[in-house]
Structure 1
Amino acid sequence: MLTGTCHCGAAHWTLEGDPGPITACNCTLCRRYGTLWAYDFVDERIRLVGPVQSYTRAGKETPSLEILFCPTCACVLAWRGLRRSDSGRTRIAVNVRLAPPEAVADLPIDHFDGLDNL
């Protein structure tokens, strides 16, 4: 199990099992937040614990996700999809930068060009 905690300790996430490759995205939000993502589906292998607030990017006619952050220290914990897939599941990704560095140091990183593909 992998765990990540916000700076103040009020909120955290857990991910059961192997996170697989993590993703570095260069979209305008991910680049500014400095996040690395591990993916799954809501209420499956990822659990969020503690208070979170959400941010949905302004200027998007139909936003596809919301950013979840700690209301106390503002650490970005995760993003959650706003639409279900055809299978009825909702995507979620946790920010592995909140995990202990030694727990994620050897995970492969995939680079996604979100700037030009989102």
Structure 2
Amino acid sequence: MHQGSCHCGAVKLTLPSTPAVATSCNCSLCRRIGGPWVYFEYGTVRIEGHPEHTTEYIQGDRTLRTIRCRTCGCVTHWEPTDPQPGAKHGVHLGCFDPALIASVRVRKFDGADTWKFFDEMPSSSEPPSTA
């Protein structure tokens, strides 16, 4: 089990398993609050201090609420506004030990434009111009 917290410790998170992959997103919100993010089935991450020590931000299509600590302001996770079976929970990996962060492969996601991982985007087959 991996345990993490916001900076002041009011919100504590326990992951249900060791993540293998995380996502670094460049959408308008993630590029401001950072990451990387790891995902688990909604309800499988144990969160202590939520909602009594947290506040939320809901943007855009209003499907996700981004949660942060009321005291220190650290973003800890996001959750669906209307959880359905199979829904995902995003957890900010920055709230955990740096050794865990270093052990996880981080994939870069283009949430600002294409909604694809950069390593899945087609690349040009032409060599760069030397002119």
Q: TM-score, structure 2 length as denominator?
A: 0.78
Select which of 101, 106, 110 maps to 1:109: 106
- In structure 1, the partner of 2:55 is 53
Q: Which secondary structure state, in structure 2, belongs to the residue aligned with residue 31 of structure 1?
A: helix
Q: Secondary structure at the match of 1:77?
A: strand
5 Å matches for 1:1-118?
A: 1-44=1-44, 46-50=45-49, 51-57=53-59, 60=60, 62-85=61-84, 88-117=85-114
Q: CA RMSD in A?
A: 1.5
List alignment gaps of at least 5 residues for structure 1.
Answer: none
Q: In 2, Cα distance between the equivalents of 1:70 and 1:31?
A: 19
Q: Which has the higher contact order (CA 8 A, sep 6+)?
A: 1
Q: Give the AA of the match of 1:81.
A: P
Tell me the matched-pair count.
112
Q: Structure 2 vs 1, CA of residues 83 and 20 (structure 1 numbering), >3 Å: closer, same or farther?
A: farther
Q: Secondary structure at the match of 2:94?
A: helix
Percent identity, aligned pairs only? 34
Shift of 1:117: 4.0
Question: Which has the greater radius of gyration?
Answer: 2
Q: TM-score, normalised by structure 1?
A: 0.86
Q: Is the 8 A contact 2:3 2:13 kept in 1?
A: yes
